[in-house]
Amino acid sequence: MNRYRQFTSTVAILALLSACGGDDDQTAIAPPSTPPISAPPPATVVGCSLRERQDFALAQLREFYLFPELLDLSVSPANYSTVQAYIDALVAPARAQNRDRFFTYITSIAEENAFFNSGSTAGFGIRLTSNVAEGRVTIAETFEGTPALAAGIDRGTEILAIGTSATDLVTVRDLLASGGSGAVTNALGPGDPGLTRVLRVRDKDGTVREVTLSKAKFNIDPVSDRYGALIINDNGKKVGYVNLRVFIGAPAESDLRAAFARFKAEGITEVIVDLRYNGGGLVSIAELLTNLLLGQRSSSDVQSFTVFRPEKAVNNETTFFMPQPESISATKIAFITTGSSASASELVANAVLPYLGSNAALIGSDTFGKPVGQIAIDRAQCDDRLRILAFATQNANRQGDYFDGLASKFDSTCRAPDDLSNQLGEPQEASIMTALDFLAGRACTPIGTIGTANTQGFREDRGRSELIKPAQPKGTVERDLPGAY
């Protein structure tokens, strides 16, 4: 039996159970101190028909689901044409109580492994924001080594129209008016390598042009070589800045270690951790980042607790700090967050809170709100990875009830917009400027309750730009790289 823990759009543990077709290739990233999850009895269903896959999902939900009393066992699998639709029906009562916002799902083993091992995905290489009220879609970020960046499309570029050719362009304003952000997603098409679209764009300097882009495979660089790790001079004080896009494996580990080694060499003790678009990833990387930030903690200090339902308490786990050679001893940390900051992002901020108190702050807007997580069970013969909401996560103070976001748990918060007119990493970008204000002890406006919750549970202002993402993500990339196309 092999297991590795990870955060996806949630806090997540991956249980690779030998009875269910475990993948021996995953042992290389298994934390050595992690105890195995108790496996259910060997599956009696071995085929890959729809009904067999549905029956398998039901058996595992009954075995492991964190809220068994909130499973609707009266629903019939015969009434649903996909495994996911059946799962959605089973967990509908928990979803109605805001306890399972599409956190239980079926996905592809191959797709997820490719993403978490190397950041492999396909598309134009952009993150998109929309402002439906203003009828605008703007690039929030462009990834390196992608078709979009090669065409000069970067943060702040506005998409004016989308078409399959120059003769059938439809304006973004019309798309948003007719079908909201979903219409934009449909116009951009699926993430198939080779798929081509013509975009009319307006660059930051006002130039309007038409660009033909073809989607391609690429690897996400978790810490951008352009702006992901910087040292900012704030009136003579050195401040470390790290922007982590996603918590994936070896690439994120090497990038983070290199960034903090530099911070340590420069004697930096105040840090901005930019997680504004980070939807999650591997727990090992979340733990590493926390250890790199708080090198002053000892191995007897609790970083987090993982708590299963009472019948599965044998799987409960306490994670302790483990300072690294590159660790700094941060005295103040500003976490830049938005409603797209989820799971692993929230775990890191929550884990720091008991030790820094008011010297740790959320900057920007409130987080997604995901204090629960999944195990995942593989059936290799079907390329099925079943992720089941199965545990809660808490910090050293046993604080973990943040379904409505982390802002209410922090003594220090500062409200700030996501400033698309400036590049990420630039001190004049509004959220970074506000983070610097907090670190310097300058006044700011706290994150409040202005705005209304949308279908994904975000607390956002009316009329502001937000990452374009589906209400129900369909795959790993949609969950952990919100807004990516």
Q: What is the mean pLDDT of residues 250-272?
A: 97
pLDDT digits (tens, 9 = 90+) for 9-51: 333 333 322 222 222 222 222 222 333 333 344 445 568 999 9
Q: Which CATH superfamily is domain 123-219 in?
A: PDZ domain (2.30.42.10)
Question: Is the CB of residue 294 less than 8 Å from the CB of residue 355?
Answer: yes
Question: Is the CB of residue 240 less than 8 Å from the CB of residue 289?
Answer: no
> Between these two residues, 8 and 96, which has the higher pLDDT value?
96
pLDDT digits (tens, 9 = 90+) for 126-142: 999 999 899 999 999 99
Mean pLDDT, the chain, integer = 87
Q: Are strands 196-202 and 302-308 parallel, antiparallel or unpaired?
A: unpaired
Per-residue confidence (pLDDT) for residue 464, from 0 to 100? 67
Domain with CATH 2.30.42.10 in the chain: 123-219
Per-residue confidence (pLDDT) for residue 147, from 0 to 100? 97
Q: What is the mean pLDDT of residues 451-459?
A: 34
Q: What is the mean pLDDT of residues 465-478?
A: 76
Q: Is the pLDDT of residue 238 over 90?
A: yes
Domain with CATH 3.90.226.10 in the chain: 229-371+391-456+474-480
Per-residue confidence (pLDDT) for residue 459, from 0 to 100? 37
Distance of CA 380 to the CA centre of its chain: 25
Per-residue confidence (pLDDT) for residue 150, from 0 to 100? 98
pLDDT digits (tens, 9 = 90+) for 139-161: 999 999 999 999 999 999 999 99
Q: Which amino acid is at 287?
A: E
Backbone φ/ψ region at 369: left (φ over 0), alpha (ψ -120 to 50), beta: left
Question: Percentage of residues in the chain with pLDDT exceeding 90?
Answer: 77
Q: Is the pLDDT of residue 376 over 90?
A: no
Q: Which residues contact 167 (CB under 8 A, 6 or more apart)?
A: none
Per-residue confidence (pLDDT) for residue 472, from 0 to 100? 72
Q: Which amino acid is at 174?
A: D
| Residue 460 structure tokens | 């956002």
Report the C-alpha gap between 425 and 428 in whole angstroms.
Answer: 9
User: What is each CA distance from 20 to 47, 53, 286, in whole angstroms?
Assistant: 12, 12, 27
**47-69 core/surface letters (b: 16 or more CB in 10 A; e: else):** eeeeebbbbbbbbbbebbbbbee
Q: CA angle, 408 as apex, 403 and 412 as ends, to 5°?
A: 140
pLDDT digits (tens, 9 = 90+) for 100-127: 988 999 999 988 888 888 778 889 999 9
Closest CA to 294 of 257, 319, 242, 331: 331
Neighbouring CB atoms inside 10 A of 386's CB total: 26
User: First CA to last CA across the chain, in angstroms?
Assistant: 36
Per-residue confidence (pLDDT) for residue 463, from 0 to 100? 44
Report the C-alpha gap between 476 and 115 in whole angstroms.
Answer: 8
pLDDT digits (tens, 9 = 90+) for 385-440: 999 999 999 999 999 999 999 999 999 999 999 999 999 999 999 999 999 999 99
Tokens 């134009």 sit at which residue?
A: 124
Q: What is the mean pLDDT of residues 244-257?
A: 95
The HSE-up count of residue 156 (CA atoms within 13 Å, CB side) is 13
Q: Is the pLDDT of residue 74 over 50?
A: yes
> Between these two residues, 83 and 459, which has the higher pLDDT value?
83
What secondary structure letter does DSSP report for 122?
A: E
Q: Is the pLDDT of residue 337 over 50?
A: yes
Length of the chain: 485
Neighbouring CB atoms inside 10 A of 419's CB total: 18
Q: Which amino acid is at 30?
A: A
Q: Is the pLDDT of residue 8 over 90?
A: no
**Domain 229-371+391-456+474-480 class?**
alpha beta
Distance of CA 207 to the CA centre of its chain: 33
Per-residue confidence (pLDDT) for residue 401, from 0 to 100? 92
Per-residue confidence (pLDDT) for residue 480, from 0 to 100? 80
Q: Which amino acid is at 169?
A: L
Per-residue confidence (pLDDT) for residue 35, from 0 to 100? 34
Closest CA to 358 of 288, 439, 301: 439
Task: Please report which residue ranges of 237-383 form alpha helices under DSSP H.
Answer: 250-265, 283-293, 344-356
Question: Is the CB of residue 410 less than 8 Å from the CB of residue 362?
Answer: yes
Q: What is the mean pLDDT of residues 188-208?
A: 96
Q: What is the mean pLDDT of residues 356-382?
A: 94
